[in-house]
Structure 1
Amino acid sequence: MRSFRRSARTRPLVAALRAGCLLLPATLVLEAQAQAPTRLDQIQVTGTRIKRADIEAQVPVQTLTRADIDRSGLTSVGDVIQQITASGSALNTRFNSSGNFGFPPDGSGVGAGATTVDLRHLGSKRVLVLVDGVRWVNEASASGVGAATDLNTIPLAIVDRIEVLEDGASSLYGSDAIAGVVNIITRRDMEGAQVTVNYGEFGKGDGAQKSIDLGWGGRSDRATWFVGASYVDQREIGAGTRAQSRYPVPGLSPEDAVAVGGSSGTPTGRFMFVDPNTGITHDITPNTGASDPTYLPGQDCARTDDYHCFGGADRFNFSPYNLLLTPSERKGVFGQFRFDVSPTTTWYAKALYNRRESANQAAPEPIFLGPEAGTGNPQADNIFISGANPYNPFGFDLDSATNLIMIGRRPVEGGPRRYAQKVDTWYLGTGLEGSFEVGDRGWFWDVNLAYSENSAEQVNTGSYNIRHIANALGDPAACAAIAGCVPLDIFGGPGTITPEMLAYIQPIVRDASENTLALASANVSGDLFATWAGAVGFAAGVEHRRYEGWYRPDPLTVAGDYNGVPSLPTSGKYDVNEVFAEFNVPLLAEGSGWGKALDLSLAGRYSDYSTFGGEFTPKYGLRWQLADEFLLRSTFAKGFRAPSIGELFGSDSRFDATLIDPCSLGPNGEPAPGDAANCAALGVPAGYAQTNPQISITTGGNPGLEPERADSFSAGFVWSPTFIEESGLAERFDIEVTFYRHEIEGAIQAIDAQTQLDLCVATLDAAFCDGITRAPTGGINGFGNRLTNLGVIKTDGWDVDLFWTLPETRAGRFGVTWRNTFVGRYEAVGADGSLQPRQVGIEVNDSAIPEWSSNLTLDWRLGAFSAAWTMRHTSDLVEGCGNAAAFPACSDPATGTNRLGSTTYHDLQLGYRLDVARGLDLTVGGLNVFGKEPPLCLSCSLNGYDASTYDIPGGGYWYVRADMRF
């Protein structure tokens, strides 16, 4: 918790920090050695580079202490940060990001197995992550070059505390610090050893998580050291184990859920073609004991053979194959050593190695063939199936150029798609730091070198080689001349694809990626001179960084032979040189009649990038302490974010989006909502019905991108009313209120694909229609959606926090922490002026911006006993119902919207301390102890809920922990 007053209750904290030996570069306390000058008691917090003898700050910094981390019951740095109220939607292990998630436009890959942080709903790539004040390397997803930091590369066991600056800070830290800064402070002040063992599982007895953390540290007259090791094993949970995630659309009957949201790529197969002998259009599937009379106009459905017309009842339920919680095994070791070279100079060295092994899983990969398949792969879209194929039951060729419309077949014989990742993270850092005096003023300096590398490998099993599929479906004589080729049976239903067929068409796909960061920095801080109002604080520094990243897909993918999501290699590098300066200028002193103090903060950084040139970012702040109990503060900052390697150099790749074509009939034959004349102009015939809503979107980088530029403003107050403390109602009572506003111009993104399609049909404007192509049948067979500097993102809101520590009584000591974030506005406007779908209170694209997020914690301590009760609240949301608008699960069918009700989770923790060795802490706890289910999400891609906002369905999570020091 924070306090701004140097009162009797803050002086012990300052003294503890002075004596705590927390000397870490750029953001930590300078150690006060016995033989060193007393100036070494200055400290520095995130949000300023100036070291000071107090902890007052002009910007709000939320500190998660080790006690806060332990109270959460979580085993991941990312999961801990994602629970703060300012956090937005970000990846975590509840996201089964594989299969058709594909490649996002920024070239970063799917981030499978990663956990990232989003502040103010501005995206993970706009949050700067530091470790001990030094930048951390970006993620390697094995499927792209990431622009965000994977927090699963940092073992939670080595963390002392986490400081979250919820304000723009490019002037202090450079690019990426638009939405805020997360500074992870590692542990080093330990004498002795510590062992922590955790075990937990979910209420249904699955998803077991176990971990063990080891730590050992010590000191001598001139040296200190800390070594830590961590092991975490999180087991997977299948989507089929929960009712909410068992079917494609939650809240519907199984039959309706499959009919509305199921896939047309089925184990029995869907065959759409024109019979060259009769001219009749067929959309058929083999009989399996059920028949559905639904058919398109012009079809012959009065059949007497082994087929019937394809309908909703024939669609495939892919949901049970997915994962509700992905497996993640993490092993990490960390060590740091510090040595006093002289009474005023210290040398340090740090090293970290972390390995993450994780996996994602999707249903057996479908094979879509023909012009209506919409795969974006020419070998699939332009397929030729020979009439001589021994398994072709129709006796004539099926040719995309003449009579084939689409074939969808899902070979369940090949098993589910499995994506297994191995991610290795290395970090090496060293430097010198110390102090000197100029007259009676103390100065502090540090120089730092660091190298970090994140490399990943991904092995994909269960996918297919489309070139081999084409060979096996073509002329049998040509197939016989190819080594290993055997004719393929995609017509016969489950079990007809033999092991020999699979051996030819099913490869093992291996992808790899890497991100590296090398940096060197030097900083100095001190008091320039004294004025009548106090000393002018100063900090300055220089920094050089070099980024390099690459992504190497499997040669099969590069050749265009991969049946799944195609992509091409990416590689790039750039470097940046920076210089910054910061001043803290006292304007008023105590006794002036205008309060206790008034300080002006000025900061600026100039960055010179090899990719686009120079950028200057200033920041201004005012801190006005009117009285011991009342503080006003405000900041204004310019910020920027440089385009990442993937955004600049990313090659063409693809992701699959579920799109509703405005030119298509509805699922029950409703008229197409799009303008009929415009649809005809786009080549869509009357009566067209979309066969496959899963459309492949081609994306790629843009070397002409400019940096994103941002304005950030914050203003607020901190009030600690003494009358409450003096009345005996509190030992501490603080209220903090902060208004924030961010505006980003030239945001790097691609226009929302559904918005682009809707605008194309509505306007026929080339700005939206260029890149969207259609087959002669009317279906979309190409969709270009590239990165650009789009319009503006604006957001604002309020943080309202309360901290209340009650006086100790015979019943123990009680404390209340209540943090709230209210989002007043969020809007993203494209360069054309079109409003993007993300807004406050809206659930869209598996992410949400709640109007109100709140965490309320009540903790209690009495002797060896302790307890904590936490309530996590998310206000209600609204989503579009999509194709489920006609069903009761859609709460407002008139508007086609569904309400996701407000949700409150309750967490409980109980602890007891035993006097064994240097202390044995036993803890038992639960997250979501009442088993609150997440609201049903009809529009979410997988598992029927928003995995970035809510806990998984199916009950709470329970854990036990033992922590022993000796």
Structure 2
Amino acid sequence: MKRSIISTISLVLLSSLVTANAQDRESTDTTAPTSAVPASGAATTPNGVTPPSPKATGKEKPEVVSVTGSRIKRKDLDVASPITIVGREEIANTGATTVTEVMKTLPAAVGNSVTTTTTNGGGGGSGNIALRGLDPSSTLVLLNGRRLPNDVNGQSPDLNSIPVGAIERIEVLQDGASAIYGSDAIAGVINIITRKNIDGMDFGMYFGRASKGDLETKNYDLAYGTSNEKGSMVLGLNYYTQGNVKSRDRSVSRQSLHPSSATPNGHVVFSPTNNVIVDPNFHGTNPTPANYVPFTPDARYNYSSITDAIMAQNRKSLFLSGDYELSKDLKLNLESSYTNTVSRWDSAPTPLFTSQETGNIVVSPLNPYNAFGVPLTDVRKRFLELGPREAQSDSDTFRIVAGLSGGFGSEKKWTWDVNANHGEANIRTQNRNIINKTNLMLGLGDPAACREVASLGCVPVNITGPYGSVDAAQASWLRLNAMDTTSTEMNSYTFNTGGELAKLDFATINMAAGAEIRDETYLKKADSNSEKFNTVGNTNGKSTDGDRKIKEVYVEFNMPVSKVVELDLAARYSNYSDFGDTTNPKYGLKITPFQGFTIRGTYSTGFRAPSLPELFGGQVENFTTLTHGDPCSTAGTRGCTAVADPSTNQWLALQGGNPKLQPEKSRSYTFGLAYSLANAWNVKADYWVINTENAIDTNPDFVVQQFRKFGKFADRVDVDANNNITQIRATALNLAARRVKGLDLATDYTLRNTASGTWALNVLASHYINYQNQADASSPFENVVGRYVDASSGGRGSIPAWKGRAAIDWSLIGIDAGVVMNYTSHLNVGTTDDFVYTDLDAWRTYDMHVGYDFQKFGKVTLGIDNLTDKNPPVTDGAFNDNIDARTHNLIGRFYYARYGVTI
């Protein structure tokens, strides 16, 4: 009801703007301000972008602009903090159709980002970016300088909910900013700026397909804008669809490196050294003990023959924004967006590990299919007879902002704005072809019990026979579909003011201040069977909810000390209903000894409150991998009383929220040099440090290693009589401390209007010097730079020593072309200096595009991503498809065509 009322009001108000503007356009000839953003990152200031330029008449004062990381408006973007800005033209040249595709190529984006090419296990099609190798939750995401609602996973907002066609530019602040924006801005800030100055209609369409014939992608954008001297309005529509990629259709993922011990043929474990499986040469349905043979690794099931490596999805988006001058000192601002995303993916057929399931699943000796005549407590079965697990998520993201702004004073040197911001995200996830655990237990038990409910379809179930022994009646009795729903909501109310505080002989002292009240809520409604932990093959978990209220005030000063020295001072006080108070300052220094050369540095403290899902998320069952495996699966390991089953490579983990979590705290430092020459050559270098305490983590691998070797976390690991791990309780903990430091480098050179055209070179690179990770207070710090540890094991993902991109662009009389090299340095799979699985080669790919502008008939661009069809490095220890899909991808060569026209 709330959303429908708000939507109606916003549509009525914006429609009135359309009508008013359309009438005024006939009598008013105005040119909207434009934003000059370089192609392919060809920077024109030390910060890498030309600031938005005003209408120029030759008499007007330079327009002041806002820059991410400061509430003070300035005449340029040359500030103390390091910023990377990706303009609209550069976004188009990348061929990207989602924000995460744009962001993933930036050198600062390493670690556990989630994109549309990260699928196995779901995700609902949402996209999050991790900066500096910290979690996505440590990066604040803004839309036009205002917060967005987090996605239902609580990590950060879904970047893919913002259509690329609506974006003017993306500003990435690579520095802590809790003093300016509050919680979450530890690693940095991603601020997405939407288009505001459109007069007429823009239409764009995009078609792409992998050279293997799959991942067919289509994208359609429509933007309409109108403006006059009283206001402006922009309406944007987007439709996006993406086909799937099967794991079996890529050589790198066709055969899993760690196939499953849950096999289509019945696999019975009597002890770690006594494993038997139905002889593959047996073709009946009721084997005798003589028809079983010893289990060998070759008998494991290759689930990659079924799984989707990349999910199919479609997305529909609507974006509206407008402003209207109510009087010369008062302006109305409105902004609204809605995105619906439907994603579909197949997982391998439901696996069953009876010893690891909650509920004590036992094959009764009276079960007619039990050939051994004794209770079977550890049986492993892959239910191919039920078909693949089919999942579909349907998510909605909605946001509306309404506000007033104005200025006061003789020359309006002070401005103010007040805004109300409502955002919500909802997702409905359905899982098909899973198993009803109660029905399974009845089917495996005494047939007499099953006969009592035969009218409901109960039949004895055969999980010890070969593939095909689960007939149609059994499959019908077992099959279950489940639906979970999750929602998050945010309401915030902000007031900001800023302007000139004092005028000096050589400059002015500027100030900004403001306040914010924010409410956040989280609600998860689990399926009734999931709630009772009554499913197999699904993420069983409890329904849960939580909420909080935050009150904040901030102040910021920009204080020139001399003509060449400038200080920035800021502080923010926050009061959380669940964590109390915190104050976080930030100090910045900028020295400009001569024109074009800047020395800059910052120091700040940061604060990240645990997200509501991290606090209140219901505990759910997941199967996880362990980077180091179970130490007790190898004979002679210290602390092990018996050898555990070496064939196990996935373990049941209970994961979820922890209401005892405490906030993360950080200290950040940056020091940089920037030089710009003649608006043609720019170069910058920034050294940065982020030290984090109380880092929130869920690390089942660490818990198991500590339990097996030193007896720690005994309350978090369950083992059976054979010393096999049956469950790991890996809920979120304040485990880690991190010491991260690195170096960002950037340079660009533009050679304009030569006889051969205009040429531009742009290079961006990040070097990770150290990433010292401490699992808990009693553990030593370990440097994980150059290593990969999968997120499913609680790892940081890939932290390459170097990541970079270099682009060369050329244009001449309507023709343009460009080539981009993307580079990630080599990696080791492992977590300690003496434990390395494999060495992963450096990954270098090349993208290219060529376009022709037909002027009023539009522009056509053709492109190829991964021109050389480079395969990603095979990654032992990766949970998905033998690769780190958050760093590499298995798409291969990809062709696309884009057409855009302004009407």
Same fold (TM over 0.5): yes
Change (3 A) 1:66 1:286: same
Asked whether the equivalents of residues 807 and 813 of structure 1 are also in contact (C-alpha less than 8 Å), the reply is yes
Asked whether the equivalents of residues 716 and 730 of structure 2 are also in contact (C-alpha less than 8 Å), the reply is yes
1:486-527: CA deviations, max 9, x gaps?
Answer: 211223322222222222211111011001111110101101
2:239 to 231, 236, 249: 231
Q: Which amino acid aligns with 2:408?
A: F
Task: Tell me what 1:19 maps to.
Answer: 55
Task: Tell me what 2:388 maps to.
Answer: 416
- Asked if residue 210 in structure 1 is aligned to residue 218 in structure 2, the reply is yes
- Asked if residue 138 in structure 1 is aligned to residue 131 in structure 2, the reply is no
Query: Which has the larger displacement, 481-490 or 502-511?
Result: 481-490
Q: CA deviation at 1:654?
A: 2.6
Q: CA deviation at 1:753?
A: 2.2
The TM-score normalised by the length of structure 1 is: 0.85
- Residues 97-176 of structure 1 correspond to what in structure 2 (within 5 A)? 97-98=120-121, 111-140=123-152, 145-176=153-184
User: Which residues of structure 1 form unaligned runs of 5+?
Assistant: 21-31, 99-109, 250-260, 275-279, 292-302, 399-403, 590-596, 726-730, 883-891
Task: Tell me what 1:28 maps to.
Answer: none
Query: Which has the larger displacement, 118-127 or 264-273?
Result: 264-273
Asked whether the equivalents of residues 72 and 499 of structure 2 are also in contact (C-alpha less than 8 Å), the reply is yes
Q: Distance in 1 between matches of 2:172 and 2:273?
A: 61
Q: CA deviation at 1:781?
A: 1.9
- Residues 510-549 of structure 1 correspond to what in structure 2 (within 5 A)? 510-549=483-522
Task: Tell me what 1:611 maps to.
Answer: 578
Change (3 A) 1:5 1:351: closer
Q: Distance in 1 between matches of 2:601 and 2:555?
A: 19
Q: CA deviation at 1:664?
A: 3.3
1:587-622: CA deviations, max 9, x gaps?
Answer: 012xxxxxxx21111000000110111110000000
1:498 to 462, 471, 481: 471
Q: Which amino acid aligns with 2:739?
A: K
Change (3 A) 1:55 1:555: same
Query: Which has the larger displacement, 642-651 or 303-312?
Result: 303-312
Q: CA deviation at 1:835?
A: 4.4
- Asked if residue 344 in structure 1 is aligned to residue 329 in structure 2, the reply is yes
- Asked if residue 357 in structure 1 is aligned to residue 342 in structure 2, the reply is yes
Task: Tell me what 1:252 maps to.
Answer: none
Q: Distance in 2 between matches of 1:505 and 1:705?
A: 39
Change (3 A) 1:776 1:533: same
Task: Tell me what 1:593 maps to.
Answer: none
Q: CA deviation at 1:433?
A: 1.1
DSSP 3-state at the match of 1:472: helix
Q: Distance in 2 between matches of 1:473 and 1:783?
A: 26
Task: Tell me what 2:31 maps to.
Answer: none
Q: CA deviation at 1:960?
A: 0.5
- Residues 673-822 of structure 1 correspond to what in structure 2 (within 5 A)? 674-675=637-638, 678-680=639-641, 685=642, 687-721=643-677, 732-750=680-698, 752-764=699-711, 766=712, 768-822=713-767
1:44-89: CA deviations, max 9, x gaps?
Answer: 1111100122332111111110011001101001111111010013
Change (3 A) 1:466 1:835: farther
Q: CA deviation at 1:658?
A: 2.1
Asked whether the equivalents of residues 456 and 513 of structure 1 are also in contact (C-alpha less than 8 Å), the reply is yes
Q: CA deviation at 1:807?
A: 3.3
The count of corresponding residues between Structure 1 and Structure 2 is 848
Change (3 A) 1:282 1:188: same
- Residues 652-671 of structure 1 correspond to what in structure 2 (within 5 A)? 652-659=619-626, 662-666=630-634, 671=635
Task: Tell me what 1:93 maps to.
Answer: 116
1:318-368: CA deviations, max 9, x gaps?
Answer: 112111221121100111121111123210112111100112321101122
Q: Distance in 1 between matches of 2:608 and 2:681?
A: 38
Q: Distance in 2 between matches of 1:899 and 1:368?
A: 32
1:924 to 858, 862, 867: 862
Q: Distance in 2 between matches of 1:454 and 1:577?
A: 22
1:535-590: CA deviations, max 9, x gaps?
Answer: 1100001111110011111110111211133211121000101100000111012x
Change (3 A) 1:233 1:904: same
Q: Percent identity?
A: 29
Q: Which amino acid aligns with 1:568?
A: K
- Asked if residue 900 in structure 1 is aligned to residue 900 in structure 2, the reply is no
Task: Tell me what 1:385 maps to.
Answer: 363
Asked whether the equivalents of residues 236 and 325 of structure 1 are also in contact (C-alpha less than 8 Å), the reply is yes
Task: Tell me what 2:6 maps to.
Answer: none
| Root mean square deviation, CA, Å | 2.5
Asked whether the equivalents of residues 790 and 884 of structure 2 are also in contact (C-alpha less than 8 Å), the reply is no
Q: Distance in 1 between matches of 2:472 and 2:281?
A: 27
Q: Which amino acid aligns with 1:456?
A: I
Q: CA deviation at 1:653?
A: 2.0
1:442 to 408, 413, 419: 413
Change (3 A) 1:881 1:699: closer
Task: Tell me what 2:824 maps to.
Answer: 874
Task: Tell me what 2:617 maps to.
Answer: 650
Task: Tell me what 2:94 maps to.
Answer: 72
DSSP 3-state at the match of 1:636: strand
Asked whether the equivalents of residues 362 and 445 of structure 2 are also in contact (C-alpha less than 8 Å), the reply is yes
Task: Tell me what 1:961 maps to.
Answer: 898
Q: Which amino acid aligns with 1:851?
A: A
The TM-score normalised by the length of structure 2 is: 0.90
Asked whether the equivalents of residues 18 and 42 of structure 1 are also in contact (C-alpha less than 8 Å), the reply is no
DSSP 3-state at the match of 2:54: helix
Q: Distance in 2 between matches of 1:873 and 1:122?
A: 20
Q: CA deviation at 1:273?
A: 3.5
Q: CA deviation at 1:895?
A: 6.4
Q: Distance in 2 between matches of 1:688 and 1:191?
A: 69
Q: CA deviation at 1:862?
A: 0.1
1:366 to 351, 358, 362: 351
Q: Distance in 2 between matches of 1:897 and 1:284?
A: 29
Q: Distance in 1 between matches of 2:774 and 2:374?
A: 49
Query: Which has the larger displacement, 168-177 or 696-705?
Result: 696-705
- Asked if residue 579 in structure 1 is aligned to residue 579 in structure 2, the reply is no
Change (3 A) 1:547 1:307: same
Asked whether the equivalents of residues 5 and 628 of structure 1 are also in contact (C-alpha less than 8 Å), the reply is no
DSSP 3-state at the match of 2:223: strand
Task: Tell me what 1:179 maps to.
Answer: 187
Task: Tell me what 2:5 maps to.
Answer: none
Task: Tell me what 2:265 maps to.
Answer: 268
Q: CA deviation at 1:441?
A: 6.5
Asked whether the equivalents of residues 696 and 732 of structure 2 are also in contact (C-alpha less than 8 Å), the reply is yes
- Residues 471-510 of structure 1 correspond to what in structure 2 (within 5 A)? 471-482=442-453, 483-510=456-483
Change (3 A) 1:162 1:358: same
Q: Which amino acid aligns with 1:935?
A: P
User: Which residues of structure 2 form unaligned runs of 5+?
Assistant: 1-41, 792-796
